[in-house]
Structure 1
Amino acid sequence: MTDTERPRLPLIEICVEGIDGLLAAQAAGADRVELCASLVEGGITPSLGTVRAALELATIPFHVIVRPRGGDFLYSDAEYGSMLADVRALSELGVAGVVVGCLNADGTIDEKRMSQLVQAAGHLNVTCHRAFDMTRDPAEALEALIRSKVGRVLTSGQRDTALEGVALLGTSSDRRGSASSSSAAADSTQTTSPKCGKEPD
């Protein structure tokens, strides 16, 4: 079998809490990490000190979640302002990417804010987290994210687990074409276990 005939191995991305979680995932063979604080809240923005330590110690790329609090994804102007500031600071620090998500009260993607976050991120990769799974219409949401220039989506197919949401994951993959990529998220209801995303190399 030639190299071109070999099946591509999945890229394994793990959501971790803090620097110890990053180092454990790295030692276990993860390809990429989503760095968070407080996974019990679904992941919130880690401190800049944690990010700086990760930059010193990580040998794999990591993306940083930018989420000011747990709960829903409807943010006040003050909360959103802090998100913009965090994204700009992370861009200056030189992380590989950021993970964000903003919704409107009607369950649609907040395109204006998402576009502004992408612009603030500059050269960084931008992923929409599982706010996508809270949207009223996944096809509509995916198109909104593509228009906002978001590069990837972390989703379980709007179900509790990626296995349950596999039908939507396949549909989303067909719709996105080359505009963006999606990662399957494992069960995030088990707060003691990190979510895992997989995508082809």
Structure 2
Amino acid sequence: MVEHRMQAGITTFVDGTHLYRGAFSEYRKLARKYHYQIIVVDFMRALYEKCHHDPQAMIAELAQRDKQRKKQQQRFVGQQVISKYIDRYFQMKNDVLQELKVISPEDCQHLIRTTLTNVSYQDFNRFERIKIIGDIHGEHTGLQEIFADYQRGTAYIFCGDILDRGTQNLAVLEFINRLKGNNLFFIRGNHEDRID
């Protein structure tokens, strides 16, 4: 599923506790293939700083929280599992995470808020019809067919991946550059991201 999302150029969140080098090597391979940046959200950072970077203090703190869950007859983790994950956390922090961008949960919230506020929203109610144009990939003939019955009252939404793979990339680029009007909308695809 992660690869499918990356192929489509979608921002992807992976929520997991798999703290070991092998898990990250798969993500890194996909990130290189599809030109993604990996950002790790360190949910342990606050505890790590509170306990002054001491793994034993972190284990003690988590074990205390775990006892409270057990008293309340909730699902609990157990000291052995806590110790194992804290060991893995420190191995990752000293190894793999040194090479990746690591942010706090607060930084992640800020990043998401900032990204979402920069999104441009359009009101398409002013149009009579909407044509959504999927990946063109340099196929000029198909693009000409779409615009054979061009109408100003129609919104044309390009969903990215205009160039690449096809044999008529230059003709497609020239055609796109000639288009004018406030009824044309372009979403950047993962193939356009590679052009930067």
Q: TM-score, normalised by structure 1?
A: 0.28
Between Structure 1 and Structure 2, which shows a larger proportion of strand residues?
Answer: 1
Between Structure 1 and Structure 2, which shows a larger proportion of helix residues?
Answer: 2
Larger-Rg structure = 2
